[in-house]
Structure 1
Amino acid sequence: MPLIALGLNHQTTPLALREKVALDAARLPEALTELQALAGVEEAALLSTCNRTEIYAQVADGTEPRIASWLARYHGIEPDALTGYLYHHHDTEAVRHLFRVATGLDSLVLGEPQILGQVKEAWQAARDAKSLRTSLDRLFQQTFSVAKRVRTDTRIGAHPVSVAFAAVRLARQAFADLDRACVMLIGAGDTIELAARHLADAHVQRLLVANRTLEHAQTLASRHGGVALPLSEVERHLPEADIVISATASREPILRKDAVRAALKLRKNRPMFMLDLAVPRDIAADVAELADVYLYTVDDLEHAIEENKASRREAAQQAEAIIDLQVEHYLSWWQAQGRQDALRRLRTTGLATRDEALARARSELANGEAPEHVLERLAHQLTNKLLHAPSAALRRAALDGDSELLRAAERLYEDADDSEPAP
């Protein structure tokens, strides 16, 4: 069964479509259950971040169109809407793609470290949903090992570059003196945590942290000298914010045009710099229509971080060499598993045939038949049953001119006289 990676990301797909197929953690178990129930899907994992939604799976041939249709159907969009955006990787390239994703080589910010944690969360969710088996589980575990080695052996993570860092740097460009700015952070996940850390390092004058769960906001605010707010207080405190950075898992916008317009009026039209790092968006797209608002999304950051990409390209080349080697290692193991599966099936069939013949012989002995007759019949029946399938296959091969199978059979038995029987 082939391994596949199917998905869309910031390189292939606009934000408006990415946010429609984004999955938050709460929906992953249901999605994985549905995905694994599709005919032909042996095992599967789902990775969904602000920049990508990807499915990794081991499937029967011809299953990919079914998975693509499911992805569109699950999110309530027309299948044609994904045409031209989905990428498909198979076997070697699927393995390479996951390694590159986890090491940050496929990220908006080259080498960013957050993605590895998100890949680990996707793996754990698939394990919890029991949608992983040996091949895919082994692939993810080797992925973590590869990512660790890349971090250790290259300078891919030498500089504090991430989407959060790029966002703060962009904010610094808008407000040269962050030590005189009030910043409102909405959310309390990894991206907001990193943004808070960079803002604290920049000695921002005032930091407001709003989150749906006040306790989480308080924890983050206390670490960085900020003030915690419940999400319900965001609009009331919005006029105080010179800079707003938002990254939550909300399915609906948190800030709408009317609320921002009201805040600007109270600010006497002093400009407001807003960075929406969430997918789906936290800040309604039409907020950008307001005068004195400078609204940026994750897609806009790609232009702001081009310099950082250049500084990491040499390290990325070293990382690619490590990945090439590790892809070979995984594929060697995976191919060996396939060969062992065939051997296991052969032994299972042989043992079942033996047990059936032995049970019949014992029954005949119990009925008083002569032992020598029972033994002769046992040997005859066992030999016939064990040789029937391979003999029939070799006869067909001879008739069809399948020289490859005939040569394989010759090699299989050429050293049989000198071989020790398997235990």
Structure 2
Amino acid sequence: MEFGVFGVSYKEADADVRDCTAFSDTQKLELYNQLLDVDITQAVILSTCNRSELYFIYEKEEQLDQIRELFLKAATKSVPLFLKTGRRAACYLFEVAAGYHSMVLGEDQILGQVQSSYQMANQCQACQKQLHRMFQSCFAAVKQLKTTYRISEHPVSIAYLAVKNIRNAMSLHRASILVIGSGEMAALMLQYLQEEELSALYVCSRNRHKAEQVMSASMQYIPFSKRYEILPHCDVICSMTSSPHRILRKEDMPPIQRKQMYVDLAMPRDIDPQLTQSGVVIDIDHLQREADEQLEQRKVLLQKAHPMLEAAAQEAYAYLHAQQVDYLIQSLQQRSEQMAVDTYALLRAKLQLSSHEQQVLKKVLHTSFLRMVKEPMLTLKKAKGQDQQLYAQLLETMLKGD
């Protein structure tokens, strides 16, 4: 019994490759069923925008090739896969859930994605106690890490830092805010802003359909052509479009009777730099410097936290290995009992024995065969670390050979 992971990561594969392995729920269900056909009864499929990974428990080395083939078949094209097994695989799972391998180092979102993937696998009856223990130990360890080292107190999201800077510069209570753009950055910005007690939150975009996809019911759409008309009513203007030109020019600005704050998250910049004369401007460079500083803090904290995470992963893997040892000991006992039964049947057919003699023979055979396997069982139980793993592998090979 061993733990492994096949996967594709953004570090090794481009966007086209990752698209092929962004499995839908239907594809996941099909893959779970196909894994059962090769006797893989415990597996969790993790598929996010930046990674696709298959965690599993296997019994035989030859199953690895079968799992690889099924993964590639689901991907519809040949993709570069990495493979980790044993302790390395366990440690990798814990690191992934803690955000060590995320594009945004130490992010919180990945833990929820791993939990959702585990829940789906559980609903598909693709988990048993060994995989349950591995993932539940992982979740507990990551939560403990985040509580102890407070990784999330060092945000690296540009959108989050922008809202934080706005909040530090002014009160957002009953404020009116305009967000220009409807891409991923705008969606994050709106997500953070709607948690504030605002008077109004406007969304301006050239594409109304795209804007409505990132808006909630409490937000108001402003056509791009009307952007200057709404400006006098806004306390904060946040712009993050992909326009190659300035979209807010000083010479086109209407009369403004209030102090305003401008947040420019675009590159090239959306907002005329001359507007600094009439309000506070925060640009992407300012926020990126702050994000870089926070990222360095995260790196230091995650490095300090790693020994704790690794110890938890090793403990979870040790439990899995102990399950293998218990299984082998149980197999030895069953094998000795079966040999005693078979030998008793053979001797009884050849010998004329009384009822009492039959009982004595049965007891003697049972005790003798159990004594034969007692020493290997004790040796296996007493062995530690790699010695125990080696003994277990040898014993498993012998049992299969029989």
TM-score by length of 2: 0.62
Q: Does 1:378 align with 2:362?
A: yes
> 1:184-208, CA deviations, whole angstroms, 9 ceiling, x for partnerless residues?
6579xxx957751247659785137
Q: Partners in 2 of 1:19 and 1:116 — Cα distance?
A: 21
Superposed counterparts of 1:4-403, under 5 Å: 4-34=4-34, 36-37=35-36, 39=38, 41-59=40-58, 60-77=60-77, 79=78, 82-83=79-80, 86-162=81-157, 165=160, 181-183=178-180, 192=187, 195-198=190-193, 205-207=201-203, 221-222=216-217, 225-227=218-220, 306-351=292-337, 370-379=354-363, 381-382=365-366
- Contact 1:44–1:136 (Cα < 8 Å) also in 2: yes
Gaps of 5+ in 1: 170-177, 230-235, 246-259, 265-272, 276-287, 293-300, 394-403, 409-423
Q: Partners in 2 of 1:98 and 1:374 — Cα distance?
A: 56
Q: CA distance change for structure 1 residues 37 and 355 in 2, over 3 Å: closer, same or farther?
A: same
What letter corresponds to residue 76 of structure 2 in structure 1? G
Task: Figure out how many residues of one structure are paired with residues of the other and give that number.
Answer: 324
Q: CA distance change for structure 1 residues 71 and 108 in 2, over 3 Å: closer, same or farther?
A: same
Q: Partners in 1 of 2:31 and 2:288 — Cα distance?
A: 30
Shift in Å, 1:116:
0.7
Q: CA distance change for structure 1 residues 381 and 22 in 2, over 3 Å: closer, same or farther?
A: same
Shift in Å, 1:68:
3.0
> 1:163-186, CA deviations, whole angstroms, 9 ceiling, x for partnerless residues?
8637989xxxxxxxx966444657
Q: CA distance change for structure 1 residues 39 and 237 in 2, over 3 Å: closer, same or farther?
A: farther
Q: Partners in 2 of 1:8 and 1:56 — Cα distance?
A: 12
Q: CA distance change for structure 1 residues 20 and 111 in 2, over 3 Å: closer, same or farther?
A: same
Q: Partners in 1 of 2:342 and 2:53 — Cα distance?
A: 47
Shift in Å, 1:7:
1.1
Shift in Å, 1:237:
6.3
Shift in Å, 1:387:
6.7
Shift in Å, 1:6:
1.7
Q: Partners in 1 of 2:292 and 2:331 — Cα distance?
A: 53
SS at match of 1:19: helix
SS at match of 1:309: helix
- Contact 2:344–2:361 (Cα < 8 Å) also in 1: no
Q: CA distance change for structure 1 residues 33 and 193 in 2, over 3 Å: closer, same or farther?
A: farther
Q: CA distance change for structure 1 residues 345 and 181 in 2, over 3 Å: closer, same or farther?
A: same
Q: Partners in 1 of 2:315 and 2:224 — Cα distance?
A: 53
Q: CA distance change for structure 1 residues 318 and 181 in 2, over 3 Å: closer, same or farther?
A: same
- Contact 1:146–1:326 (Cα < 8 Å) also in 2: yes
Q: Partners in 1 of 2:226 and 2:93 — Cα distance?
A: 43
SS at match of 2:152: coil
Instruction: Report the more deviating stretch, 321-330 or 22-31.
Output: 22-31
> 1:228-266, CA deviations, whole angstroms, 9 ceiling, x for partnerless residues?
x9xxxxxx9687799679xxxxxxxxxxxxxx9xxx9xx
Name the residue aligned to 2:234.
none
* Identity value in percent: 21
Q: Partners in 1 of 2:188 and 2:125 — Cα distance?
A: 31
Q: CA distance change for structure 1 residues 323 and 180 in 2, over 3 Å: closer, same or farther?
A: closer
Gaps of 5+ in 2: 165-174, 228-237, 248-263, 271-286, 377-386, 392-402
Q: Partners in 2 of 1:182 and 1:206 — Cα distance?
A: 6
